[in-house]
């Protein structure tokens, strides 16, 4: 089988979305994007279509790898890599991964990061084969139980300010989607709130299903249940919603959410890093 690649920037957005959806057919978590959702992902996650690649097998588009790049640290993230179902198990993934790492080195990137579903052992083994090391386990949580007692008044703050606070007080090496740079690029209808020395960033609070993207307590104020109180205040101020933390939450933070009534979901991921 002969493989090659082309820059994703050579293709129309609609074709990239089609390739991405095909690459994740019958996957652990199937992906079904449309062009508007892909555009949001492109902006928020800093996807670089000139560095992203379409995999060609016998000159036919058979896979896609989305590469995100940001800042001066020369880090890149493998935001997604999908292989068409008919090409899986035929060496395409190994060939593609080797090509992506070689190109990252040619760009003089210093590291590549990614997240992979923990139960997807074939993908985990592939990344380990190329030297990726596990940083931490990432978990998801959900709250369907409804109203919580208010524990303070929420003050809305700018999302860019939320990003600055994460850079100052956040956990080092956060997953890309929870990092200061990503949160700072979010735009309404996403919202950020302050409650004393605690902060949170959420997706559109008017939706029935709301994602919590960030929960933060100032370093010197930790140990006083402020994170739990912040979560309860958000839920109380936007009643009747389902609240979801995607499987990007560092496992060590899970206890705070559970204390606020959230339940841990079955899906988990490994956050992984490769020094280049």
Domain boundaries of the chain, sorted by first residue? 3-109, 140-269
Structure token digits, residue 33: 């994007």
Yes or no: say if 190 and 213 are a contact pair by the CB < 8 Å rule: yes
| DSSP bridge pairs for 271 | 115, 136
DSSP-derived letter for residue 261 is T
Residue with tokens 């052992």: 121
Q: What average pLDDT does the segment 52-68 reach?
A: 96
Distance of CA 38 to the CA centre of its chain: 14
Q: Which pLDDT belongs to residue 9?
A: 98
Q: Examine the pLDDT at 160 and tell me if it is beyond 80.
A: yes
Q: Examine the pLDDT at 150 and tell me if it is beyond 80.
A: no
CA 25/CA 171 separation, integer angstroms: 34
Q: Which pLDDT belongs to residue 130?
A: 98
Q: Which pLDDT belongs to residue 146?
A: 64
CA 122/CA 168 separation, integer angstroms: 37
Q: How many residues are there in the chain? A: 276
Q: Which pLDDT belongs to residue 68?
A: 97
Q: Examine the pLDDT at 73 and tell me if it is beyond 80.
A: no
Q: Give phi and psi for 241, each to the nearest 5.
A: -105, 160
Q: Give phi and psi for 148, each to the nearest 5.
A: -125, 150
Q: Which pLDDT belongs to residue 232?
A: 92
pTM: 0.94
The percentage of residues in the chain with a pLDDT greater than 90, rounded to a whole number, is: 86
Task: Work out the mean pLDDT of the chain and round it to a whole number.
Answer: 94
CATH code for 140-269? 3.40.630.30
The two domains 3-109 and 140-269 share their CATH topology (first three levels equal): yes
Over the stretch 8-46, which tens digit does the pLDDT of each residue have? 999 999 999 999 999 998 887 778 899 999 999 999 999
Find the range with the poorest average confidence among 71-75, 76-80, 264-268: 71-75
The CATH fold of domain 3-109? Aminopeptidase (3.40.630)
Residue with tokens 């020395």: 197
Residue with tokens 């386990």: 137
Residue 71: left if φ>0, alpha if ψ -120 to 50, beta else—which one?
A: left
Residue 14 burial (CB count, 10 A):
11
Q: Which pLDDT belongs to residue 86?
A: 87
Q: Which pLDDT belongs to residue 148?
A: 66
Structure token digits, residue 165: 């606070």
**By CB neighbour count within 10 A (0-12 exposed, 13-18 middle, 19+ buried), where does 219 fall?**
exposed
Higher-confidence residue: 186 or 149? 186
Yes or no: say if 172 and 184 are a contact pair by the CB < 8 Å rule: no
**Start-to-end CA span in the chain (Å):** 28
DSSP-derived letter for residue 55 is E
Q: What average pLDDT does the segment 167-177 reach?
A: 95
Q: Which pLDDT belongs to residue 28?
A: 75
Over the stretch 87-138, which tens digit does the pLDDT of each residue have? 888 899 999 999 999 999 999 999 999 999 999 999 999 999 999 999 999 9
- Measure Cα distances from 106 to 59, 101, 128, 176, 276 in Å: 24, 9, 21, 22, 10
């Amino acid at each position: 089988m002969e493989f090659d690649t082309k820059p994703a920037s050579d293709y129309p957005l609609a074709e990239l979305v089609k390739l991405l959806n095909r690459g994740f057919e019958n996957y652990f978590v199937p992906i079904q994007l449309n062009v508007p959702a892909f555009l949001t992902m492109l902006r928020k996650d800093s996807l670089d279509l000139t560095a992203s690649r379409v995999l060609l097998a016998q000159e036919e588009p058979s896979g896609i790898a989305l590469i995100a790049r940001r800042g001066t640290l020369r880090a890149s993230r493998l935001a997604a890599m999908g292989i068409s179902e008919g090409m899986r198990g035929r060496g395409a993934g190994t060939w593609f991964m080797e090509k992506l790492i070689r190109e990252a080195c040619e760009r003089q990137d210093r590291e590549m990061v990614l997240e992979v579903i923990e139960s997807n052992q074939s993908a985990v083994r592939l990344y380990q084969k190329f030297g990726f090391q596990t940083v931490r386990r990432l978990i998801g949580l959900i709250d369907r139980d409804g109203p919580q007692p208010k524990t303070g008044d929420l003050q809305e703050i700018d999302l860019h300010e939320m990003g600055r606070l994460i850079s100052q007080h956040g956990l080092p090496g956060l997953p890309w989607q929870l990092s200061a740079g990503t949160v700072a690029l979010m735009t309404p209808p996403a919202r950020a709130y302050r409650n004393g020395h605690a902060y949170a960033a959420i997706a559109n609070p008017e939706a029935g299903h709301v994602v919590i993207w960030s929960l933060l307590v100032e370093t010197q104020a930790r140990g006083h249940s402020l994170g739990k109180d912040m979560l309860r205040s958000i839920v109380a101020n936007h009643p009747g919603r389902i609240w979801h933390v995607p499987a990007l939450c560092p496992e060590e933070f899970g206890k705070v959410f559970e204390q606020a009534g959230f339940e841990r979901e079955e899906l988990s991921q490994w956050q992984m890093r490769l020094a280049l």
